[in-house]
C-alpha cells in the first residue's frame, strides 16, 4: 500500500523520562478517586495526557507525530495506569489505533488528517467497537449483527454495540460490522462521533474502571462514506476477530494493570508507614511480617514488569520466536498483577477494603485485566493444543 502523507501538523513530543512519567502519574492520580466515584469520563486526566503529548505518542513521523516505539508507549500506559486506569484504557486504545495506522495507512487520508487536527487541539480518542449485547465479545467467535447496507453514496450502518470504551469522549468510532452484500464481508467502518443516528446508553455500572465510559451505543441509519469500510482479511477462508491473539500493540491493556499494581504497592507502603498500633508502639512497616509481604508484592510486580518490558524488547529485536508466546505472556502478567494487589489487601484486612483506602479501588480495577482478549482459558487452550501437536 502506498504511504499517504498527511498535513504539516507537528504534535507534542512526550517526556518519557522517569521524572516526566512520575509527574504524569501524579497529575492523573489527583482526580482518579473523584471520577471512580462519579463514573464520569475522566476529563481532567485525559486533558493532562493530551497536554503532554501522551495520547498521540504513537503517531507516525510522516504524519507529524513522535512515532515512539512499543517500549516507550507501554511505559506511558503503565504511568497512566498507576494514576488512573480508566484514563489509561482510553489512551491505550487510542495509541494502538495510531500504531496500526502507522503500519497500514488504512484510513482515508482526509479523515486521518481530521483526526490529527482534532488531536492537536485536545483529547480526540478513537476506539474499536466490537462487542454486542447478543454476541458478547467477538473474540469468542461469531459474526456481528451490526450491518452495513450499500447505497449509491456509501454505506448505512445499523446495530447496537456494548462495552464501547471511551463513550462520548470519542472522536471517531471504528465499528465492527458485516455488509449486506450477496457475499457478505466483515470489517470495521470509520464513523465520526458527531454523525447523525448515534445514541449512547448509560449501561456501564461496573466493579472497576468505572470512569472508562464503557457504555452501550446504537447506530440507526448512520450514513458513512464508501471508503470508510475496512474489510478484515480472511484466515483459512473465514473471518477471525483480530483480538483473538495478542500482538505487540495489544500489550497496552496488560501494561495499564502493571500500573495499577504499582499504585497498590505505594498505597500499601504508605499505610504501613503510617499505621502505629498502640500495642506495637511503632509503624507496622518495621515488622518482619509486613516487610515480607512488601517483598512478595515487589516480587509479583518485578515478574510482571520483566515479562512486559522483556517481551517488547524481544519484539523490537525482531526475535522470530516471540510471537507464539505473546498470549501466554499476557496471561502471566495478569496473574502477577492480581496477585500483587490481592497480597496487599489480604495483609491489611478490613483496612484495605474501605473506600477511604485506595487499595479498595486498586483491587476492583486490577480484576478487570481478565476481561481483555484473549481471555485466560482461550489462550491456555490454544497454547496447550499447539504444545501437544509439537
pLDDT tens for 156-207 read 999 999 999 999 999 999 999 999 999 999 999 999 999 999 999 999 999 9
Q: Is the pLDDT of residue 2 over 70?
A: no
Number of separate domains in the chain: 3
Which candidate, 339, 266, 259, places its Cα nearest to that of 299? Answer: 339
Whose grid coordinates read 469520563?
41
Q: Which residues of 3-33 are buried (b: 16+ CB within 10 A; e: fewer)?
A: ebebeeeebbebebeeebbeebbebbbebbe
pLDDT over 70 percentage in the chain: 92
- Residues 299-323 have a mean pLDDT of 94
44 phi and psi angles, rounded to 5 deg = -65, -40
pLDDT value, residue 34: 98
Q: How far apart are CA 70 and CA 331, in angstroms?
A: 19
Domain containing residue 91: CATH number = 1.10.540.10
Do 223 and 268 have their domain in common?
no
Q: Which three cell numbers stand for residue 166?
A: 471511551
Domain that holds residue 177: 138-230
- Between strands 172-179 and 147-150, the pairing is parallel
Do 298 and 374 have their domain in common?
yes
Q: How far apart are CA 237 and CA 225, in angstroms?
A: 27
221 class by beta-carbon count within 10 Å (0-12 exposed, 13-18 middle, 19+ buried): exposed
Residue 219's SS3 state is strand
Any domain includes 10 = no
Do 299 and 363 have their domain in common?
yes
Domain containing residue 156: CATH number = 2.40.110.10
Q: Is the pLDDT of residue 304 over 80?
A: yes
Amino acid at each position: 500500500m502506498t504511504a499517504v502523507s498527511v498535513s504539516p501538523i507537528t504534535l507534542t513530543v512526550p517526556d518519557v523520562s522517569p521524572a516526566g512519567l512520575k509527574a504524569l502519574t501524579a497529575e492523573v492520580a489527583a482526580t482518579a478517586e473523584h471520577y471512580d466515584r462519579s463514573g464520569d469520563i475522566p476529563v481532567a486526566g485525559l486533558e493532562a495526557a493530551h497536554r503532554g503529548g501522551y495520547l498521540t505518542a504513537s503517531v507516525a513521523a510522516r504524519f507529524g507525530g513522535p512515532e515512539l516505539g512499543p517500549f516507550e508507549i507501554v511505559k506511558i500506559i503503565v504511568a497512566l495506569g498507576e494514576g488512573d486506569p480508566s484514563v489509561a484504557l482510553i489512551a491505550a486504545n487510542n495509541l494502538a489505533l495510531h500504531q496500526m495506522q502507522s503500519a497500514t495507512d488504512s484510513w482515508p487520508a482526509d479523515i486521518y488528517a481530521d483526526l490529527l487536527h482534532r488531536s492537536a487541539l485536545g483529547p480526540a480518542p478513537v476506539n474499536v467497537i466490537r462487542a454486542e449485547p447478543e454476541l458478547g465479545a467477538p473474540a469468542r467467535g461469531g459474526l456481528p449483527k451490526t450491518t452495513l447496507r450499500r447505497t449509491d453514496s456509501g454505506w448505512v450502518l445499523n446495530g447496537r454495540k456494548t462495552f464501547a470504551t471511551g463513550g462520548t469522549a470519542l472522536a471517531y468510532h471504528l465499528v465492527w460490522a458485516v455488509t449486506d452484500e450477496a457475499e457478505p464481508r466483515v470489517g470495521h467502518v470509520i464513523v465520526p462521533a458527531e454523525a447523525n443516528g448515534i445514541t449512547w446508553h448509560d449501561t456501564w455500572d461496573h466493579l472497576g474502571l468505572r470512569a472508562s465510559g464503557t457504555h452501550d451505543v446504537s447506530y440507526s441509519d448512520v450514513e458513512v462514506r464508501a471508503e470508510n469500510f475496512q474489510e478484515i482479511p480472511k484466515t483459512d477462508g473465514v473471518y477471525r476477530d483480530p483480538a483473538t491473539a495478542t500482538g505487540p500493540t495489544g500489550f497496552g491493556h496488560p501494561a495499564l494493570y502493571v500500573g495499577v499494581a504499582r499504585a497498590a504497592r505505594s498505597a500499601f507502603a504508605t499505610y504501613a508507614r503510617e499505621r502505629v498500633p498502640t500495642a506495637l508502639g511503632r509503624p507496622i512497616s518495621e515488622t518482619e511480617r509486613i516487610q515480607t509481604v512488601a517483598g512478595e508484592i515487589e516480587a509479583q510486580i518485578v515478574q510482571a514488569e520483566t515479562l512486559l518490558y522483556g517481551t517488547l524488547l524481544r519484539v523490537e529485536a525482531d526475535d522470530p520466536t516471540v510471537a507464539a508466546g505473546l498470549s501466554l505472556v499476557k496471561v502471566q502478567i495478569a496473574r502477577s498483577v492480581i496477585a500483587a494487589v490481592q497480597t496487599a489487601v489480604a495483609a491489611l484486612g478490613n483496612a484495605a477494603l474501605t473506600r477511604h483506602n485506595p487499595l479498595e479501588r486498586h483491587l476492583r480495577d486490577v480484576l478487570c485485566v481478565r476481561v481483555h482478549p484473549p481471555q485466560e482459558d482461550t489462550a491456555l487452550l490454544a497454547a496447550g493444543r499447539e504444545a501437544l501437536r509439537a
